[in-house]
Structure 1
Amino acid sequence: MKAVITVIGRDTVGVVAKVSAVCAELNINIEDISQSIMQEMFCMIMLVSLNHCTADPAAVRDRFAALGEEMKMQVTVTRQEVFDAMHTI
């Protein structure tokens, strides 16, 4: 199963490293990453694989939400199922 992790907030040093560290901690594989700075706001989108993740989906969301609070940024995890459901009638 895949998911999308988004990170938005004021640009600071180490954002990618911190998010990547949590991915490694939970055994989440980063498959693709895009990042940019838009008017001093850091924006990142990561496509990840949860196939070998060591935590359940709620724990993954909670861990990234806690990271977002720590970094004073918005960090969200959206599983592929949500995107699939949006395009299913």
Structure 2
Amino acid sequence: MVVFVHGRDRPGIVAGLASVLADANANILDISQTVMRGIFTMAMIVDVTEAKLKIEELRRRLEERGKQLGVEVSVYHMDVVRYLQRP
């Protein structure tokens, strides 16, 4: 799956979201993040093949943690992202 995050930068965003993934036994395969003028953005490619939770529950937990951290979290199945990138 692909996880997109954006919002006001503050300490603990990456750790907070990564802990949700680790608790679910999901693996971050790739991560990119940047901060521009105080706005944090991040994209993660996450392997959920060994996850202990269904994607819907993992999405809910990530979105909930995002709210606690003051950021917006969007979770997509990789096939959706690939479809949107087609020419």
TM-score norm. by structure 1 comes to 0.88
Q: Which runs of 5+ in 1 are unaligned?
A: none
The CA deviation string for residues 30-50 of structure 1, in whole angstroms up to 9 with x for no partner, is 001111001110011111101
The CA deviation string for residues 42-76 of structure 1, in whole angstroms up to 9 with x for no partner, is 01111110110111121011111101111111011
Check conservation: 2:28, 2:44, Cα contact below 8 A.
yes
- Give the aligned partner of residue 19 of structure 1: 17
- Give the aligned partner of residue 65 of structure 1: 63
TM-score norm. by structure 2 comes to 0.89
Equivalent residue runs for 1:1-89 within 5 Å: 3-86=1-84
Tell me the number of residue pairs that the alignment of Structure 1 and Structure 2 aligns. 86
State how far apart, in whole Å, the 1-side matches of 2:25 and 2:52 are: 6
Aligned-partner SS, 2:44 = strand
Letter in 2 for 1:46: M
Q: Percent identity?
A: 33
State how far apart, in whole Å, the 2-side matches of 1:45 and 1:30 are: 10
Give the alignment's Cα RMSD to 1 decimal. 1.4
